[in-house]
Amino acid sequence: MQRHKHLKNLFIFLVFLFLYLPIITLIVFSFNTSPLNILFEGFTLEWYGKLFSNTTLLDALKNTIIVSVVSTAVSTFIGTLAAIGLQKYNFIGKNFINKLLYVPVVIPEIVLGISLLSVYTLLKLNLGLGTLIVSHIAFSIPFVIISVRTVINSTNLQIEEAAHDLGANDFKTLTNVIIPEIMPGIISGATLAFTLSLDDVIISYFTAGPGSNTLPLQIYAMIKTGITPDVNALTTLMILVIMTVLIISSLIQVRKMKKEYVR
């Protein structure tokens, strides 16, 4: 198994280099004195200062955060209820609904994007933050359902009966037993929804309107007209935030695991 160990490690390293190269590039250039993103000429924090006066970019960031937070909250709520309900109850057409839920997961995003755009146009809805949020909810819900369902399937379903048996009413059973029990699935579903929403370009491209530019759309427009280095600065800051959150959450996990191992 240990044959060619160095070659294998080199391969792993190269794949990671490939994955991180564009990000590292952006970070490095965010500190570059030259605004041209061509060669590194000197260190500066100028772009970080400029970033805070670039209202277009900040507005786009604000929109992105609003859309992601709202759509994540709504889709996590509906998705969690749905995963529990679909597990618990039978109804006519359940099979069909279950099949429909896979559609946003498998069809190319662009198809969902143009279908939603067509419907908004049909209903004469003005494209804006509203349609953007609805669209993000539309593609997030199935992912939340799948995440929650995975955890439900590995949960001992008798806990619900046990809770009733011990005197808990339906609501208490849901809030005190079922939700905490499937919390890992809810959290991973919400994380997934949030990530998908932050990352989405294609569906936003079709369903956003004037004044509801999100960061990806803003950057898309800027790449065509010319990007300013404060975008690099913003990207760097975002990566920093994400890395911090990741490190903190994995530290919490490690501590929790250690605590359980100690016993």
Partner 1 sequence: MKKVMVKLDNVKKDYEGKKIIKGISLDIYEGEFLTLLGPSGCGKTTLLRTISGLEKVSSGKIYIDGEDVTDVIPRKREVNTIFQNFALFSHMTVEKNIGFGLKMKKVPKSEIKTRVKEVIELIQMEGFEDRKPTQLSGGQQQRVALARGIVNKPKVLLLDEPLSSLDMKLRKQMQVELKRIQKKMGITFIYVTHDQDEALSMSDRVAIINNGVIEQIDTPRKLYDAPKTKFVADFIGESNQFNAVVVSTQNDEATIKLEIDLEIKVKNNHYDVGEKLTVIIRPEQFRLAREKDITNCFVVKTKEHIYSGSFTKVLGKVGKKEIEFIIYNDDDYTKNEEVKLKFSSDDIVILEENNEE
Partner 2 sequence: MKNKSKFLYLSPVVIYAIVLILFPILYILFLSFQTNDNYGGIIYSLTLNNYIKIFDIVYLRVLFKSASIAFITTVICILISYPFCIFISEKKPNVQKILITLVMVPFLTNSLIRTYGWIVLLRKEGVFNSILQALNICDGPISFMYNNMGVFIGLVYTLLPFMILPVYSSVSKIDKKVLEASEDLGANAYHTFTKVILPQTLPGIFNGSLMVFIPAIGMFFIADLLGGGKIMLVGNLIKNQFLVSRNWPFGAAISIFLIVITFLLVKLYKKTGGNMDDLGGF
Q: Which of 6, 18, 225, 263 binds partner 2 (CB under 8 A)?
A: 18
CB of 75 to partner 1, least distance (A): 23
At its nearest, how many Å lie between partner 2 and the CB of residue 249? 10
**Residue 190 near residue 78, CB atoms below 8 Å:** no
Give CA–CA dist 209/225, Å, rounded.
19
Cβ(80)–Cβ(189) under 8 Å? yes
- Binding of residue 156 to partner 1 (CB under 8 A): yes
Helix pair 183-199, 129-153: axis angle to 10 deg: 150
Does residue 50 belong to the site contacting partner 1 (CB under 8 A)? no
Determine contact, residues 135/207, Cβ cutoff 8 Å. yes
Query: Phi and psi (nearest 5°) for 41?
Result: -110, -25
Does position 62 interact with partner 2 (CB under 8 A)? The reply is no
Q: Residue 257, interface with partner 1 (CB under 8 A)?
A: no
Question: Residue 112 — φ and ψ, nearest 5°?
Answer: -65, -40
Q: Which does 183 bind (CB under 5 to 8 A by kind): partner 2, partner 1, none?
A: partner 1
- Footprint of partner 2 on 118-157 (CB under 8 A): 118-119, 122, 134, 137-138, 141-143, 145-147, 149-150
Judged by CB under 8 A, the chain residues 176 through 205 that form the site for partner 1 are: 176-177, 180-181, 183
- CA 137, CA 227: separation in Å to the nearest integer? 30
Task: Report H helices in 89-211.
Answer: 94-106, 109-122, 129-153, 158-165, 170-172, 179-181, 183-199, 202-207
Q: Which of 55, 91, 210, 261 binds partner 2 (CB under 8 A)?
A: 91
Q: 169 phi and psi, to 5 degrees?
A: -80, 175
User: Which of partner 1, partner 2, none sits in contact with 167, Cβ below 5 to 8 A by type?
Assistant: partner 1
Which of 46, 73, 177, 205 binds partner 2 (CB under 8 A)? It is 205
Closest CA to 86 of 162, 144, 163: 144
Kindly determine how many residues on this chain lie close enough to bind partner 2 according to the rule CB under 8 A: 85
Per-residue string for binding with partner 1, 213-252, x by CB under 8 A?
A: ----------------------------------------
**In which residue are the tokens 């896979």 written?**
102
Residue whose entry in the numeric block shows the structure tokens 């997030």: 140
Q: Which stretch binds partner 2 (CB under 8 A): 50-58, 88-96, 124-132, 160-168?
A: 88-96
Regarding 252 and contact with partner 2 (CB under 8 A), the answer is no
How many binding residues for partner 1 (CB under 8 A)? 20
Note the residues at the interface with partner 1 (CB under 8 A): 156, 158-159, 161-169, 172, 176-177, 180-181, 183, 260, 263
